[in-house]
């Protein structure tokens, strides 16, 4: 049977005392079944051992990533927020279009309406 492997994305933790992001090892020592990926590089290497992560933390690219984590993620977060705003705006415009189409169809129906021809018949003649 095939198992689906869940890969977690590693994010450093914010330390309010130092006001900086800091590394922590998300994989317990000698644990199995953990799969983490760090976004500091475009290699997309998956880490499965605690020792791999500890070694990875020493890389210059990772240290730079953690040092600038807030500014790197702020741009991404702002972009996600902007996308969300635009999706809401798009949905409101879509609802407006549907309402206007309904109104247009009703107007067309009213303009094409022809009342029945009335004729009067006198029964006294």
Of 3, 124, 120, 10, whose CA–CA distance to 62 is shortest?
10
pTM > 0.85: yes or no: no
CA distance 117 to 114: 8
Which pLDDT score, from 0 to 100, does residue 92 have? 95
**70/46 Cα distance (integer angstroms):** 23
The pLDDT value recorded for residue 97 is 96
Domain boundaries, the chain: 1-67, 78-103
Report yes or no: 37 and 19 within 8 Å, Cβ to Cβ.
Answer: no
Instruction: Determine contact, residues 83/91, Cβ cutoff 8 Å.
Output: no
| pLDDT on residue 64 | 92
- Ranges of the chain whose pLDDT falls below 70: 1-5, 77, 119-125
């Amino acid at each position: 049977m095939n198992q689906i492997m869940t890969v977690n994305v590693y994010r450093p933790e914010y330390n309010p005392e130092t006001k900086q992001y800091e590394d922590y090892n998300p994989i317990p020592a000698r644990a199995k079944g953990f799969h983490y990926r760090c976004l500091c590089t475009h290699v997309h290497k998956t880490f499965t051992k605690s020792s791999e992560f500890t070694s990875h933390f020493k890389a210059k690219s990772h240290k730079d990533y953690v040092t600038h984590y807030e500014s790197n993620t702020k741009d991404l977060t702002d972009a996600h927020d902007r996308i969300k705003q635009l999706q809401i705006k798009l949905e409101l415009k879509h609802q407006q279009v549907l309402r206007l189409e309904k109104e247009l169809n009703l107007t067309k129906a009213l303009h094409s309406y022809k009342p029945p021809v009335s004729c009067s018949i006198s029964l006294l003649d």
